[in-house]
């Protein structure tokens, strides 16, 4: 079943157009990757799906219903959660409180404080500390855990490997199967192609605000991806 269906999505920042008719599908229970270089429109795309940017109502359909342009807080209640670029941990809140705030809407589902701490034990150990005192990798785990606390049907992950050592990134990606097993579909945006292609069932490549390549990782050669990524 298609959980997320995007058709001809356009997005603007004022007069500046960032997305030019993007179309893609995400099936229920899948892991889908969106890759592309800086400025390709990947983050803009996620923000549009998450409800932070005003877009055409019909351009985005979630679980069959048009949700384009609906405010972010409403989409959280419907089951779309964004783990934002840069993590955006709340500095005034402790680790535990950062997780608890994810459950603000109290959507029913398998994810609880205990279960998130099972997935990322370091969060349980550091629960009373201020969220921003954690290391980069730990903060990324916290941001993901916080997103999980909303019990999303669709989890959007924006550049989770940014600024982190490969070893740390691998550790985070190892948590992905548990997340999907819990019933969450994942849409991952990455600049670092290698990690995400190992876990995704489908990959889309963005270039200059449009989709330049789509397919299954197994079917795509390195040269195809490079061409789509850089436009050579």
The three state secondary structure string of 114-141 is: HHHHHHCHHHHHCCCCEHHHCCHHHHHH
Closest separation in Å from C-beta 175 to another protein: 20
Q: Do residues 134 and 126 lie in contact, with contact meaning Cβ atoms separated by under 8 Å?
A: yes
Closest separation in Å from C-beta 50 to another protein: 7
**Termini Cα distance of the chain:** 35
Task: Report the site for another protein in 57-76 (rule: CB under 8 A).
Answer: 71-74, 76
Task: Report the site for another protein in 25-54 (rule: CB under 8 A).
Answer: 50-52
The Cα 53–Cα 46 span in angstroms is 9
Residues 88-107, mask of contacts with another protein (x by CB under 8 A):
x-xxxx---x--xxx-xx--
**Can residue 133 be called a binding residue for another protein (CB under 8 A)?**
no
- In the bound state with another protein, the residue whose beta carbon lies nearer, of 179 and 203, is 179
Render 24-51 in DSSP notation, one character per residue: EEEETT-EEEEE--TTSSHHHHHHHHHT
Closest separation in Å from C-beta 73 to another protein: 5
The Cα 63–Cα 225 span in angstroms is 30
- In the bound state with another protein, the residue whose beta carbon lies nearer, of 72 and 113, is 72
Q: Which residues bind another protein (CB under 8 A)?
A: 50-52, 71-74, 76-77, 81-82, 84, 88, 90-93, 97, 100-102, 104-105, 146, 150
């Amino acid at each position: 079943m298609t959980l997320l269906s995007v058709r001809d999505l356009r997005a603007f920042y004022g007069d500046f157009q960032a997305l030019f008719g993007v179309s893609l599908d995400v099936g229920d229970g899948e892991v889908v990757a969106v890759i592309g270089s800086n400025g390709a429109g990947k983050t803009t795309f996620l923000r549009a799906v998450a409800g932070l940017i005003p877009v055409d109502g019909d351009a985005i359909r979630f679980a069959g219903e048009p949700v384009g342009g609906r405010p972010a807080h409403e989409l959280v209640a419907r089951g779309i959660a964004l783990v934002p670029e840069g993590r955006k941990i709340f500095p005034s809140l402790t680790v535990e409180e950062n997780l608890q705030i994810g459950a603000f809407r109290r959507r029913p589902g398998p994810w609880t404080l205990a279960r998130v701490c099972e997935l990322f034990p370091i969060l349980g150990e550091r629960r009373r500390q201020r969220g921003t005192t954690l290391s980069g990798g730990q903060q990324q785990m916290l941001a993901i855990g916080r997103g999980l606390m909303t019990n999303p049907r669709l989890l959007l992950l924006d550049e989770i490997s940014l600024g982190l050592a490969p070893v740390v990134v691998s550790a985070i990606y190892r948590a992905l199967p548990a997340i999907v097993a819990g019933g969450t579909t994942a849409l991952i945006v990455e600049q670092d192609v290698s990690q995400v292609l190992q876990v995704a069932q489908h990959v889309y490549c963005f270039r200059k605000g449009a989709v330049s390549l789509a397919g299954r990782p197994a079917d795509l050669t390195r040269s195809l991806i490079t061409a789509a990524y850089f436009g050579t």
